Structure 1
């Protein structure tokens, strides 16, 4: 089976317009741009647009994977919990004849919108090109293999596949993750705090060294 693509929260946050609208929820990343285009000008798309680029897991019940519900105190009826207002594919609170319910699958269950998974933890690494002495610091997903991290690095070096990737002198298994290769930060639990503080990040970011193989492989 094809591995899913992982995204960092920062990558999701960059898709925050009506024309380019991503959200994440319950570990999934969805591109709702087609939905936003379809309902452009409709008040029901507004709550989703307001959360473009954000995680909306709090909208959902982790157990049912459906929109949270609550019991209305006045009617004692079960209703969807929509603090930002009713949105696309949520039925009206009372029966109406003008509500089209022919969409079959609500957008949060429609796999056509899924583009990948949200990383449960991101990491920072430094990639050092020993041939040119160039250094690049990247935020990557802890679930990604080195081959997938290589694809992220291609925009800085299109010949990245022509190098042997090493950590502390040992060749890395490109089909495995950083953790599987033994690249574990000594301050793993403190990473986020360190990156947001004024502490010198260079002291805590592991360095991966690239050694040229005399082979100009290019993606």
Structure 2
């Protein structure tokens, strides 16, 4: 099993249509597009569609990882709490002959929908190509290794693997995170000092190895 992929909230947010619908909750990211296809036209999809691209952790009890519940004032029974409306795999509040519970695991417990982990903290870094003098600011997950950040950077430079990555003149360990490579997270300091973080972002410099190792 490979290492799970990390996603930024902004990456989740772009998947916000019925044909391409992601949500995040309890620290993980889920692609529920197949669920939407399976229940297409079902009114119980509405709350999920309205939550497309968003974090829905507030739907769950953080301790039990189950759907939150409340006490029904009419029956005095504990029922799923769905302030945005009942959704797929949530049973009706009262006995209903149309309700079928033969769907197996509810979608929020089905790991087949899980595509990765939601980053707890994202950062912006500036990457400067010393060969072309071009720079690019990208958002990354603080949990990612430099090798994973390199993969993010490939959209701007397909030969990113043909460079030596350095910070303050020191080669970066590509299997370590930004923080582990000594590049401190200064977001809080930028905020306290009202500094423009775009101007003062730490810069990673790429030095061409004179060897196009990647096509």
How would you bin the TM-score normalised by the shorter chain?
Answer: over 0.9
- Could you state the TM-score of these two structures normalised by the residue count of structure 1? 0.94
Q: Does 1:44 align with 2:44?
A: yes
Q: Distance in 2 between matches of 1:35 and 1:204?
A: 44
Query: Runs of 4 or more off by more than 6 Å in structure 1?
Result: none
Query: Where does residue 160 of structure 1 map in the other structure?
Result: 160
Query: Where does residue 214 of structure 2 map in the other structure?
Result: 218
Query: Where does residue 116 of structure 2 map in the other structure?
Result: 116
Q: Distance in 1 between matches of 2:124 and 2:72?
A: 46
Query: Where does residue 13 of structure 1 map in the other structure?
Result: 13
Query: Where does residue 180 of structure 1 map in the other structure?
Result: 180
Q: Distance in 1 between matches of 2:153 and 2:210?
A: 19
Cα deviation code 1:97-140 (max 9, x no counterpart): 11121111000000000000000000000000000001000000
RMSD over aligned CA atoms reads: 1.4
Query: Where does residue 136 of structure 1 map in the other structure?
Result: 136
Shift of 1:70: 0.8
Q: Distance in 1 between matches of 2:71 and 2:188?
A: 39
How many residues are aligned here?
214
Cα deviation code 1:82-105 (max 9, x no counterpart): 001000000000111111211110
- Unpaired runs of at least 5, structure 1: none
Q: Distance in 1 between matches of 2:200 and 2:132?
A: 23
Note the 1:96-107 alignment, pairs <5 A.
96-107=96-107
Q: Distance in 1 between matches of 2:119 and 2:188?
A: 16
Helix, strand or coil at the partner of 2:37: helix
Q: Does 1:206 align with 2:202?
A: yes
**CA contact 2:187–2:197 (8 Å) conserved in 1:** no
Shift of 1:218: 2.2
Q: Distance in 2 between matches of 1:204 and 1:74?
A: 59
Shift of 1:190: 5.1
Shift of 1:205: 1.2
- Unpaired runs of at least 5, structure 2: none
**CA contact 2:23–2:32 (8 Å) conserved in 1:** yes
